[in-house]
Amino acid sequence: MTGRTAAWVGLGTAVPVLGLVVALFGRVTRPAMEIDRYAKDILDAGMAISANLEGLAELERTHALAGAVPDLAVAYLHKLGAA
């Protein structure tokens, strides 16, 4: 076998192997892109939830103030002599 013939045999073998590699690469990257899309959706949802939790400190303060109202109301009624 001459050098030129060996080169053609090598190219003839390399082309199908390269096609197989490209096909397998496509089969791997498609699910990876889908996972990336899902991860971006999850991140967007998490950021939206985070935006809703920004007023949590005010909610805790409101809860504490509302808890003090019944005692203050009773004390006010006692002061007025109504209770």
What are 35-73's pLDDT values in tens digits? 999 999 999 999 999 888 888 888 888 998 888 888 888
**One domain, residues 69 and 35:** no
**One domain, residues 33 and 61:** no
**One domain, residues 41 and 65:** no
Average pLDDT value over all residues in the chain:
89
End-to-end CA distance of the chain, in Å? 115
Task: List the structure tokens of 15.
Answer: 């082309």
**One domain, residues 63 and 24:** no
Note the helical H segments in 53-80.
Answer: 56-80
**One domain, residues 5 and 40:** yes
Task: List the structure tokens of 79.
Answer: 């002061």
Domain that holds residue 65: 56-83
What is the count of structural domains for the chain?
2
